[in-house]
Chain A
């Protein structure tokens, strides 16, 4: 079955350490996204990538970095510069160009990051 896999489900880190969240999709989607979810604030876009080797900052990119070396993978690194890294992180992907452009985002199951 096609889908998006995020790992691990729960992640714990000490303050000052960088941490990388994994996101893999086998849907053959061109575009991939990272969202951050905090209580009472909905989902906010961190980074997105439309094609391999290209990515753009979203609304809250400070303290985060990404790479897109393969179509299937879009890892997110939470750096020590991110002031409030504890949150729930969701990865998503969307259909290739040429398909109906009201197609929804497909989401992974998320990673809960706790930094202490």
Chain B
């Protein structure tokens, strides 16, 4: 079975600085997707960024980027120019590639990110 591990229960960063959240996963599959979700105090789950395993290029969405290391099974999230609104729980998630059917995501334990003004 696939597992996702986030080894940092809590992280903090000064506003405007850069922070990296770690995620490792375990799978025997070669084709899959990886996601980072953000859960602010409202508890709404918001997709931050996604990565297809068959793509070597790291995904980027504005201030958010990933470092995807397939051989090491590592998928870290870098937040640049941190803003107060980035404060949230961040979840890493894995899903194997499927032609159709339900998207069963496996989530990590989460990292609580605090932004210090």
Contact = CB atoms under 8 A, between A and B. Distances in A.
B16 interface: no
B44 A109 contact: yes
Contacts of A43: 91, 105, 107
Contacts of B33: 102
Interface residues of A, number: 28
Contacts of B105: 43, 45, 105
Contacts of B91: 42-43
Contact of B104 (A42, A48, A97): A48
A97 B52 CA distance: 18
Given A42-B108, A42-B110, A109 B43 contact: yes
Contact of A33 (B98, B102, B108): B102
B109 A102 contact: no
B104 A45 contact: yes
Interface residues of B, number: 26
Contact of B101 (A31, A44, A110): A31
B100 A98 contact: yes
Nearest to A31: B102
A40 B76 CA distance: 19
Given A102-B33, A110-B43, A31 B109 contact: no
Interface in A23-66: 31, 33, 35, 40-45, 48-50, 56, 58
Contact of A41 (B42, B52, B99, B109): B109
Interface of B: 4, 6, 9, 33, 35, 42-45, 47, 50, 52, 91, 97-105, 107-110
